[in-house]
Structure 1
């Protein structure tokens, strides 16, 4: 049996190792499009801060790890799939035959249509090559402008601030982290960042970037022109699925999968940031680009690829973010659902905010800032779809009673409720 895995990120590596564990005689080919050892993009900010070296970003640290497991590594990028002949066509003109195929191609940064994006000191912060270029330019006191203040943008911002740069952030949304936080929470994060010395423009966009000697001029639409030594684009990501456009593999936002992570074509599976899987909380398929989901999906896909039936229990909609020391969280339908109810509690002086969203007597989503002691409980209630009964009214009167509500309501509802970690 020959397994081809497209993508050498966390999903691809975990899938390859899982296949080897259960199919010791099968051939495994792991295809990555970068000339690097398999690494984690989420470790790049820690590299920029200086907490780790490049080797610290590597997914596996033992020398000869992949060779010992007889996992063949190959550099290349998929250009197309012939599912009838069971072949993957690569960008060097070669092809790989497969019996089972895993699409774990991840995602790539969105490139905004802005004049000047091709200038030498404009970068995404997505690859080790990007990190090397940013590290050279982002010295203490350098003027850095970052486009985007979403989840990934805030993680990058943390690393830049730690390097001592003069940082300006430009976000098109009306608040920071607009896809994770409501207006109150997003505004609180902005105020926190400004108090830490970061200049933040929300409801703003970059119109053009122009060279200015060794630096740049960055023009904001309807606003000022800012000087910058380095511009970083963190305006979101999109699944790497363009090579599937002429194949029968169905794609929506990502590659559509069933509960076994199989695509609409037999013997072809998908996992990670490019996969669209069923979310039990929302009742629909979603792309959830977080590493724990990638790992779960990779294991389930790999087990099915070797004939061991496995089912994905669901996609986790979790975001826990540290923005310059301010911890915020988002679970499930944090923005609420039609016909639902909500309650909010805000203490700006203490830097704490809690927003709970209900549908009938179930907590379907929540936001929090500075409420770290309740993170596990929030996840347990939302993902477990715990029926609160009379505790819904109690939470509407006092949202801080989450632990009490969990203990009283979840314990008698068995498997649907998750055990809330501390």
Structure 2
């Protein structure tokens, strides 16, 4: 049996190791599109601030790890086409690789907005080790750095840049920071916190153009939709990502936002699977298929896909939107349908002086989403209640009255699952 894995990121590596564990003699080939050893993009901010060297970003540190497993890793090759009928992958070097089972784990790439001048020198994404090298050369102390985007990834990059001692300005099109993760109150609190830490933040603004001096010398002039013109020695584009699925066009493999999968992570083509940032899987909270570009979900999808590839039946229990973010020391969290559902109930509690905010969203008798700032002790409980779709019984009314009772509600509901009837009576 020959397994081909497209993608050498966390999902691809975990899948290869899982296959090898359960199929000692199968052939495994991992094809990655970068020349680097398999590494984690999540480690790039640590590289930017000097906490790790480039080797510290590598997913596996033991010399000869993949060779010892009998896993062949091909670097610097891009999949250009999948021939479903012939069961073969064509790569950018013109080669064809036959397979019995295939995993598409090609991840995602930065979505660069169509702004005049954004493709020129001095503008970089922060997605690859090559990007990180360019950024470290330019993001020296007191350099004027302008970052486009204050979403989840943008805030992680922003923190690393701030720690390098640059003069940092962030421009976000939304009316608040992390607008796809946080509601208005939470997003505004994060903005206020960042500005208090010395980061200039423009929300409700877009970059209209990046202009350069004659000969391309620094500084660049960045024109905003507000009319402001800002000087910048470096521009970082962090305006979101999109799944790497273009090569699947006309392949017969069904794609929506990402590669559509079932509960086994199998596509509509038997024997072809998908996992990670490029996969679209079922979210049990929203009842829809979503692309969840976070590493914990990617790892679990890879594990489930790999087990099915070797004939060991496994099902994905579902994906849930999970985000925990440290923004210059302010810890925020967002789970599930943080913006609620039509007709649902919600409750908010805000103490700005203490840097705390809690927003809970309910659908009938279940907690379906939440936002939190400063409630680090309840992060696990929030995830458990949302992801587990736990019936709350009388505890829903109690949480609407006092949302800080999340821990008590979680413990009572867990006990009720072992002793049915407790929630109905409200006993605890």
Q: TM-score range by the shorter chain?
A: over 0.9
Q: Does the CA-based 8 Å contact 2:148-2:237 persist in structure 1?
A: yes
1:354 aligns with 2:358: yes
1:323 aligns with 2:327: yes
| Distance apart, 1:397 and its partner CA | 1.1
Q: Please, which moves more after superposition, 281-290 or 154-163? A: 281-290
Q: What corresponds to 1:240 in structure 2?
A: 244
Q: What corresponds to 1:279 in structure 2?
A: 283
| Distance apart, 1:153 and its partner CA | 0.1
| Distance apart, 1:214 and its partner CA | 2.4
| Distance apart, 1:354 and its partner CA | 0.2
Deviations 1:169-221 (A, max 9, x none): 00000000000000000000000000000000000000000112322100001
Q: Please, which moves more after superposition, 78-87 or 205-214? A: 205-214
Give TM-score, length-normalised by structure 1: 0.97
Q: What corresponds to 1:4 in structure 2?
A: 4
Q: Among residues 398, 402, 407, which one is paired with 1:398 in the alignment? A: 402
Q: What corresponds to 2:168 in structure 1?
A: 167
- CA–CA separation in structure 1 for the residues paired with 2:321 and 2:309: 26
Q: Please, which moves more after superposition, 217-226 or 346-355? A: 217-226
Deviations 1:36-57 (A, max 9, x none): 0000001000100111100000
After the TM superposition, which residues 279-358 of structure 1 pair with which residues of structure 2 at under 5 Å, given as runs?
279-358=283-362
3-state secondary structure, aligned to 1:249: coil
Deviations 1:76-127 (A, max 9, x none): 1011100000010111111100000000000000010001112211000000
3-state secondary structure, aligned to 2:93: coil
Q: Among residues 361, 367, 377, which one is paired with 2:381 in the alignment? A: 377
Q: What corresponds to 1:125 in structure 2?
A: 126
| Distance apart, 1:310 and its partner CA | 0.8
- CA–CA separation in structure 2 for the residues paired with 1:223 and 1:372: 39
Across the two proteins, how many residue pairs are aligned to each other?
416
- CA–CA separation in structure 2 for the residues paired with 1:20 and 1:376: 32
Q: Does the CA-based 8 Å contact 1:386-1:413 persist in structure 2?
A: no
CA RMSD across the alignment:
1.2
3-state secondary structure, aligned to 2:14: helix
Q: What corresponds to 1:205 in structure 2?
A: 206
| Distance apart, 1:316 and its partner CA | 2.8
Q: Does the CA-based 8 Å contact 1:281-1:383 persist in structure 2?
A: yes
Give TM-score, length-normalised by structure 2: 0.96
Q: Does the CA-based 8 Å contact 1:331-1:378 persist in structure 2?
A: yes
Q: Does the CA-based 8 Å contact 2:100-2:271 persist in structure 1?
A: yes
Q: What corresponds to 2:193 in structure 1?
A: 192
- CA–CA separation in structure 2 for the residues paired with 1:312 and 1:70: 27
3-state secondary structure, aligned to 1:401: helix
- CA–CA separation in structure 1 for the residues paired with 2:345 and 2:225: 38
Q: Please, which moves more after superposition, 7-16 or 17-26? A: 17-26
- CA–CA separation in structure 1 for the residues paired with 2:53 and 2:284: 39
* Structure 1 pair 399–263 and aligned structure 2 pair: CA distance change class (3 A): same
Q: What corresponds to 1:420 in structure 2?
A: none
Deviations 1:362-391 (A, max 9, x none): 111000000101111111111111111111
3-state secondary structure, aligned to 2:404: coil
1:177 aligns with 2:178: yes
Deviations 1:230-264 (A, max 9, x none): 00000000000000011110001100000110000
- CA–CA separation in structure 2 for the residues paired with 1:134 and 1:117: 15
Q: What corresponds to 2:424 in structure 1?
A: none
3-state secondary structure, aligned to 1:400: helix
1:42 aligns with 2:56: no
Structure 2 unmatched ranges of 5 or more? 420-428
Q: What corresponds to 1:263 in structure 2?
A: 267
Q: What corresponds to 1:219 in structure 2?
A: 223
3-state secondary structure, aligned to 1:168: strand
Q: Please, which moves more after superposition, 388-397 or 119-128? A: 388-397
Q: Does the CA-based 8 Å contact 2:218-2:232 persist in structure 1?
A: no
- CA–CA separation in structure 1 for the residues paired with 2:155 and 2:322: 16
Q: Does the CA-based 8 Å contact 1:381-1:410 persist in structure 2?
A: no
Q: Does the CA-based 8 Å contact 1:356-1:367 persist in structure 2?
A: yes
- CA–CA separation in structure 1 for the residues paired with 2:40 and 2:53: 13
3-state secondary structure, aligned to 1:247: coil
3-state secondary structure, aligned to 2:212: strand
Q: What corresponds to 1:115 in structure 2?
A: 116
- CA–CA separation in structure 2 for the residues paired with 1:15 and 1:73: 13
- CA–CA separation in structure 1 for the residues paired with 2:225 and 2:97: 48
3-state secondary structure, aligned to 2:162: helix
